[in-house]
Amino acid sequence: MTISGKSETKEQMNSSKEYDSVNYSDFDKFVVSEKIQEILVLDSSVIFKWFYFEKEESIFEAQNLYYKATSEASIILTPELTIYELLSIFRFRTDMKPEKLEEIIKTIFDIITVIKLDYAVYLKAYEISQLTGCSIYDSIYIAISEKLKTQFITADEKLFSRVKQYNYNIVLLNEYLSE
């Protein structure tokens, strides 16, 4: 896959890199050449469950995705926005110590491909938001999955119920394994 004019290997893609932009036209070629089994877009509602279990549902399904990400059976994509969301969730829903949070963020960067978006994805997110009534933040995940023709997995039931009628490739975390 060509990212910022460089050719990247699978190991480089699914490592602790943050990408300035993704050349989406080369994405399909990369997937085929690397024989990647699965590419998924995850939001913070799923990733949070990898590290915090108290009063959380669908932990088994979240841990399955964590295993896939760490075993390189899948490439997990998420926008840079996810890091901000996770920091906010940890700040207001937990009493996480800064040292533990640093370890978590490093782990996320080690196993997930964090991407910066191009203008087309932002514009698509705006269109999705207008159509569905969802926030721009939530619509960004849908726009990425639409652009890359891959599944978007969320644990946000309100988001899922709001957009399921529009036939986006969105899957609720607790239904992910049953597909």
Task: Report the CATH number that the domain containing residue 26 is assigned in CATH.
Answer: 3.40.50.1010
Helical axes 59-70 vs 98-111, angle rounded to 10°? 60
Is 44 in a helix, a strand, or coil?
A: helix
Report pTM: 0.79
pLDDT along the chain (179 residues), means of 10: 34 42 56 66 96 88 92 89 95 94 95 92 98 97 96 96 95 82
Q: Are 135 and 118 in contact (CB under 8 A)?
A: no
pLDDT for residue 48: 96
Q: Which domain holds residue 134?
A: 2-175
Number of domains in the chain: 1
